[in-house]
Amino acid sequence: MEKITSPGKFTRFVMSWLILFVVWLMFTSTLAVQEVITGLITAFLIALFTSRFFTCCDFSIFSPVKLFYIFIYFFVFLWALITANLDVARRVISPKLPINPGIVKFKTKLTSDFAKMVLANSITLTPGTLSVDIIDDTYYIHWIDVKSLDPEEVHKDIAEQFEKILLKIF
Amino acid sequence: MNQILEIIGMGLLLIGSIFLFLGGLGIFRMPDTYNRLQAGTKATTLGGMSVILSVGLLEPDWFIKTLVLVIFIALSNPISSHALARANYKRKNYPYLKGGKEYDKYREVYQKEEEETA
């Protein structure tokens, strides 16, 4: 497990430096020399202290195939978010309050901690589901309208569309 | 060009406020904490995102900054709702179930502890 979730020390440091610097550039939104130099130094200092918590990914994330799947994931996620909101709106407005809540569980195939976190976040923002807990590779999901209690079918209904793409990225 | 951006921004502002209102209504109408979290999280994520993006469109200088804020909301909102739901279960506030006890698969995780203490 440890091997997959944490890349080497140097990789982690450079990746977090890079990401912090990009966030800095977006916040200042200029390319003036003094801003860029200040950003590089600040990002370097912060990365020095925080890179040991950085477990997301190594340099292979910049390969075109992975970038393509991240792009696809973004749109799948956006569509799920919009349908989730319409679904909640429908349930809230209708006078009968059509809910049949329960907590279901399923097992995931993902191995890296960061990928599990992304999947849990995505599940929370998809129609009618809210991730309550992850224990090892078992997800516990609060489902507002339970259609099945069988872990396989739950997995198919809730997680499969995201997991397929996440397996290709991480 | 500016006018088009303004119209899109106003539209996003309207959509965002409608979803935020529905989220509030959901928190009022739902029977228990978990269902309220469901309504609250989804509505505040999309509602907040589109309100912030509309600010970025109405004030184009800030657009990139608002983009960063949108990403932060998308990352942090689900995590906070997960933490609230889990903490609530640990406080033994069990969910409202229409279909009986077998609809709560999370119970078995805590059942052992309860038996040991009893």
Instruction: Give percent of chain B with pLDDT exceeding 70.
Output: 96
Cβ A133–B109 below 8 Å, yes or no?
Answer: yes
For the segment B16-38, what is each residue's pLDDT rounded down to a tens digit? 999 999 888 888 888 888 888 88
Please give the residue that has the higher pLDDT: either B49 or A150: B49
Indicate whether A5 pLDDT > 70.
no
In this prediction, residue A10 carries a pLDDT of: 82
Angle (CA) B2-B21-B93 rounded to 5° is 140
Tell me the chain A residues in contact with residue B25 when contact means C-beta distances shorter than 8 Å: 92-93
Which of B19, B49, B69, B82 to mutate against chain A (most A CBs within 10 Å)? B82
Which of A29, A121, A128 faces B65 most closely, judged by CB atoms? Answer: A29
Tell me the chain B residues in contact with residue A93 when contact means C-beta distances shorter than 8 Å: 22, 25
Which of B31, B89, B103 faces A146 most closely, judged by CB atoms? Answer: B103
Number of domains forming the structure of chain B:
1
Which structural domain, as residue segments, surrounds residue B89?
A: 2-117
Other beta carbons less than 10 A from residue A36's beta carbon: 15
Angle (CA) B42-B46-B51 rounded to 5° is 140
Indicate whether A106 pLDDT > 90.
no
Cβ A102–B95 below 8 Å, yes or no?
Answer: yes
Indicate the SS3 state at residue A130: strand
For the segment A66-105, what is each residue's pLDDT rounded down to a tens digit? 888 888 888 888 888 888 888 888 888 888 878 888 888 8
The pLDDT-based confidence of A6 (bands split at 50, 70, 90) is low
The pLDDT-based confidence of B118 (bands split at 50, 70, 90) is low
For the segment A21-57, what is each residue's pLDDT rounded down to a tens digit? 988 888 888 888 888 999 999 999 998 888 877 777 7
The mean pLDDT of B75-99, rounded to a whole number, is: 84
Q: What is the 8-class DSSP label of residue B95?
A: P
Which of A56, A88, A113, A153 to mutate against chain B (most B CBs within 10 Å)? A88
Angle (CA) B67-B43-A122 rounded to 5° is 70
For the segment A113-134, what is each residue's pLDDT rounded down to a tens digit? 888 888 888 888 888 888 888 8
